[in-house]
Structure 1
């Protein structure tokens, strides 16, 4: 691999190079750690950096491979993940003061499956406190910064994951998506991110926020990488009765399939309203690129998305407040002001309103599926804007906080409420060189379809290959 900095490879590329013994796990790990040393002071993307143990694990992986022993498809590939995935014996802060010294007694199923596939732990990644915020701010540990411009936000709550993958400080990273927390950092930081169908991947051992909305998924450089990582994590789990027992498709094969002849729907309203002009232009460029790949583009008339968004907020606020009630009583001073405000809002929701919102989900999903008959996926922006400045948006619980959250996340929440899969793909850059992402939304458990379309788009464009420069 002479001439190529190992950390700049994709997951599939580095895994293939290690398996073929063209590159050692130690070289790949050292390359990531070298970039971490240079970028971390600027980005604040890592919560913990475990250089010595990572290098030791990488050397052990190389020794095993020399004996013909491979753990799996990700043998020796170094990764770091959002600091909400329990890893036995490690401190898992969940981005909070309350858990700043909490040591996990078990390992999350999703994380364990990646370990079983051979990954090497680099450390853990920063996140919004208790995964409850869309921009990436954190009162306790400081904001994570966007590698394309450190004055700008990363998006949240998987802020460290988006920043670290974009800066090539890890080959991929787990995020979580309850209201947009994978897609938002992917969009703001210019990487690929897959919000999976509710139940596709076990949530056992992942810090809960909303029991009916939480999803596990990856952020990575390419759609192909997302497919590889997702396929290794998906499937039934006795530790999570909500995890689906359906057969796991070949997601990698889906990324190699042709998208020619497929149909993508563009909403007539809501997702195309009040866009920043540059985001609107990139949406049109994305439509043109998909057409060039032989994909038909049609307009679709979706049900009222504001109602879906409102229902999603109600469910999230109520379930989050129920999870945090004891700490809110005993340790309110240990929450950041915005997170506490949002949790307190959940206490005001009546039981009747919450149950009505849950009961409406089935009819709402049926109405959505009827509206997209004959369409393979929906294309929409992830957010109406590119990454805003940190100093303009880190406003805690001050005036305008709720309105800001509403504007940033208006295109992600309805999809969470319906439990649908959505793939965020880099689609272009603003004149200020800030990334803009588009999302492909599929039907439940039809990740293969959006992966096929997303991979076709990435074969035809180079937005996902661009890498930020050190500030």
Structure 2
């Protein structure tokens, strides 16, 4: 899932606050009163329970990505870690669901105007159209189970931090990259650490952390549903410490 880009946390919070509220024309919009984030930005991090995601989120990442996470953990005085169970299965389920639903959404145009699609996107949608229905059903069942497990985790922590991508930003047009010594395609693997989170709708903010040897690297601040204010507070704190580009 994409979200707004901004030059500062304040700009991002402003955008989010404007977007809050019930939209009667949106069938999946949650009926909740707005919780303005701007007034909470400078409340600090005292009392927040923060942990670093280990296991899946510590494997397959290049040293630079893990170093960015370590910088954030040090700035936040985080010494604990937590394991998100079955994250690798969550990524697989996310692929099945997004490919199937994307294919269903665009099926008519895939048939009538296939040449107008980006080739990589078109091939993914075509593959999604061939996924058996029982795979999709099983992926949705897993999605619900996985979401329940994350809810349990957030009973013990407020925020989880993890790499956004496994490596520095690839060059424009770059098709392959190396992860853990293995050459893989760029497009399907940049979401290695984001897909297991976005497909259950968790609020996540990726903060760009300065690096002395490369382009900035993103670190995810992950919260339980409807806790956007918390991740914006932490991002404001990191911004005040000069870590965020």
Q: CA deviation at 1:237?
A: 0.8
Match of 1:255 among 29, 32, 41: 41
1:366 paired residue among 148, 160, 165: 148
Report the counterpart of residue 388 of structure 1 in structure 2: 170
User: Which residue of 2 is the match for residue 455 of structure 1?
Assistant: 236
Unpaired runs of 5+ residues, structure 1, are: 1-176, 183-216, 465-471
SS at match of 1:454: helix
Whether the 8 Å CA contact 2:23–2:29 is kept in 1: the answer is yes
Selected match of 1:440 from 190, 201, 221:
221
Mapping of residues 105-116 of structure 1, within 5 Å: none
8 Å CA contact retained: 2:203, 2:225: yes
**Bigger Rg, which one:** 1
Give TM-score, length-normalised by structure 1. 0.49
**1:18-57 equivalences in 2 (<5 Å):** none
**1:321-367 superposed Cα distances (whole Å, 9 cap, x missing partner):** 00111111111122221111111110111112112222332221111
Shift of 1:317: 0.2
- Using the alignment, how far apart are the partners of 1:276 and 1:415 within structure 2? 20
54, 71, 79: which one pairs with 1:285? 71
Structure 2 residue aligned with 1:143:
none
In the alignment, structure 1 residue 303 sits paired with structure 2 residue 85: yes
1:240/1:431 CA distance change after superposition, 3 Å: same
Q: Work out the CA distance in 2 between the residues paired with 1:266 and 1:394.
A: 28
> What is the CA–CA distance in structure 2 between the aligned matches of 1:376 and 1:438, rounded to whole Å?
16
Consecutive unaligned residues of structure 2, counting only runs of 5 or more, are none
Q: Report the TM-score, using the length of structure 2 for normalisation.
A: 0.91
Note the alpha carbon deviations across 1:132-156, whole angstroms, 9 max, x for none. Answer: xxxxxxxxxxxxxxxxxxxxxxxxx
Structure number with higher relative contact order (C-alpha < 8 Å, ≥ 6 residues apart): 2
Paired residues of 2:51 and 2:80 also in contact (CA < 8 A): yes
Instruction: Using the TM superposition, give the Cα deviation of residue 381 of structure 1 relative to its aligned residue in structure 2, in angstroms.
Output: 0.7
1:227–1:297: structure 2 CA closer, same or farther, 3 Å change rule? farther
Query: How far does residue 462 in structure 1 lie from its aligned partner after superposition?
Result: 4.7
CA contact (8 A) 2:49 2:157 kept: yes
Cα distance change on mapping 1:394 and 1:335 into 2, 3 Å: farther
Matches within 5 A, 1:221-232: 221-232=7-18
Structure 2 distance, partners of 1:358, 1:279, is: 31
Runs (4+) of structure 1 moved beyond 6 Å?
none
Render the CA deviation track for 1:398-427: whole Å, top value 9, x for unaligned: xx9984333211101011121100011111
Q: Could you tell me which residue of structure 1 aligns to residue 197 of structure 2?
A: 415
Distance across 1 between alignment mates of 2:183 and 2:9? 33
